[in-house]
């Protein structure tokens, strides 16, 4: 993989993606957004044996401290919509990716950084992580899905408070609110994410992909999640993996899933 702003390593079935703009606190510019789109539509799909993806930020200060404010001054109403739509495209790809994607939040996750973390399927935060949507400080609002995803995770009242005051919350409060899955000591974010992915990797790959799809469907207004669950259950039950899972259970051994 050849990127300008992303560093990637692939080991033991786990793709580790590092937003690599440390001097800019890993701010998301349009180049980085384009690289994320390419990663999740092309490069990641070509990896044999991919079990999951971890996204983190370079350095110790920031996961992603926001979007690149320098790019905002060039925008008018129409180009602003294109700008936001591009971010939505990238983050929707992450949210709907059929392998688990975990954000390893190792510092500030603000604005676009918070939005990127929320697009991932799970979030592991270091003890010094900070989350927030401070866009109103700049006279704008979140543009990469923040108004919707934060409300989904923490509820309307708290989402209103965080968006309207631009306050940051600490990792322990993010855990209490349900925004993150785990809080770990500083430096152990990626290790914990790998631990989770290693556990997920022992399960049926087809079932994992279907579970992601069905859970996401709960939040899609034009999709009946119950109907999709019924269809997906039927699709799963007719796979080799399902037969292997049942046999392994009866034989009291670990299942050897093939992803088919």
What distance lies between CA 83 and its chain's CA centroid?
20
Q: pLDDT tens digit string along 136-170?
A: 999 999 999 999 999 999 999 999 999 999 999 99
Q: What is the mean pLDDT of the chain?
A: 94
Q: Decide: helix, strand or coil at residue 220.
A: coil
Q: Are residues 29 and 119 in the same domain?
A: yes
Residue 84 lies in a domain: yes
For residues 259 and 23, the model is more confident at 23
Q: Is 115 a catalytic residue?
A: yes
Q: Are residues 25 and 95 in the same domain?
A: yes
Neighbours of 226 (CB within 10 A): 11
- Domain boundary residue among 174, 200, 226? 200
Q: How many whole angstroms separate alpha carbon 153 and alpha carbon 164?
A: 17
Q: Is 231 a catalytic residue?
A: no
Domain that holds residue 218: 205-250
pLDDT at 88: 97
Residue 226 lies in a domain: yes
Strand partners, 62: 108
Q: Are residues 238 and 130 in the same domain?
A: no
Q: Are residues 151 and 222 in the same domain?
A: no
Q: How many whole angstroms separate alpha carbon 125 and alpha carbon 181?
A: 8
Q: How many whole angstroms separate alpha carbon 110 and alpha carbon 234?
A: 41
Q: Which of 135, 173, 195, 213 is catalytic?
A: 135
Are residues 71 and 24 in contact, defined by beta-carbon separation less than 8 angstroms? Answer: no
Q: Are residues 107 and 146 in the same domain?
A: yes
Q: Which of 115, 195, 213, 251 is catalytic?
A: 115
Are residues 66 and 24 in contact, defined by beta-carbon separation less than 8 angstroms? Answer: no
Question: What b/e sequence results for 99-120 when a residue is b if at least 16 CB atoms lie within 10 Å of its CB, and e otherwise?
Answer: bbbbbbbbbbbbbbbbbbbbbb
> HSE (CB half, 13 Å, CA atoms) of 138?
16
Q: Are residues 232 and 179 in the same domain?
A: no
Q: Decide: helix, strand or coil at residue 129.
A: coil
- CB-based contacts of 38: which residues, under 8 Å, 6+ apart? 3
Reported in sequence order, the residue ranges of 142-243 that DSSP labels E, i.e. its strands, are 168-170, 182-184
Confidence of residue 221 (pLDDT cuts 50, 70, 90): confident
Q: Are residues 170 and 238 in the same domain?
A: no
pLDDT at 16: 98
CATH assignment of the domain containing 68: 3.90.226.10
Q: Are residues 241 and 192 in the same domain?
A: no
Q: How many whole angstroms separate alpha carbon 246 and alpha carbon 260?
A: 14
> What's the average model confidence in pLDDT over 231-255?
89
For 28, which DSSP code?
B
Q: Are residues 55 and 178 in the same domain?
A: yes
- Domain boundary residue among 165, 180, 200? 200
pLDDT at 2: 85
Q: Are residues 137 and 227 in the same domain?
A: no
Residue 255 lies in a domain: no
Q: How many whole angstroms separate alpha carbon 132 and alpha carbon 146?
A: 10
């Amino acid at each position: 993989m050849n990127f300008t702003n992303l560093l990637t390593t692939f080991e033991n079935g786990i793709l580790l993606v590092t937003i690599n703009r440390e001097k800019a606190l890993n701010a998301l510019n349009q180049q980085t957004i384009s690289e994320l789109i390419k990663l999740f539509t092309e490069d990641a799909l070509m990896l044999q044996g991919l079990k999951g993806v971890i996204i983190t930020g370079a350095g110790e200060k920031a996961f992603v401290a926001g979007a690149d404010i320098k790019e905002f001054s060039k925008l008018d109403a129409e180009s602003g919509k294109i700008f936001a739509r591009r971010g939505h495209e990238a983050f929707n790809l992450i949210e709907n990716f059929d392998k688990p994607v975990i954000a390893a939040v190792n510092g500030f996750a603000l604005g676009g950084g918070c939005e990127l973390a929320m697009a991932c399927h799970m979030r592991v935060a270091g003890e010094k992580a900070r989350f927030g949507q401070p866009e109103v400080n700049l006279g704008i609002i979140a543009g990469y899905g923040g108004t919707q995803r934060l409300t989904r995770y923490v509820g309307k009242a708290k989402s209103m408070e965080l968006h309207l005051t631009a306050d940051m919350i600490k990792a322990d409060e993010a855990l209490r609110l349900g925004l993150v899955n785990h809080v770990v000591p500083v430096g152990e974010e990626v290790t914990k994410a790998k631990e989770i992915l290693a556990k997920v990797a022992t399960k049926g790959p087809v079932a994992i992909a279907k579970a992601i799809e069905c859970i996401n469907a709960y939040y899609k207004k034009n999709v009946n999640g119950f109907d999709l669950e019924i269809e997906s259950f039927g699709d799963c039950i007719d796979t080799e993996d399902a037969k292997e899972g049942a046999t392994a259970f009866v034989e009291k051994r670990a299942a050897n899933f093939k992803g088919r």
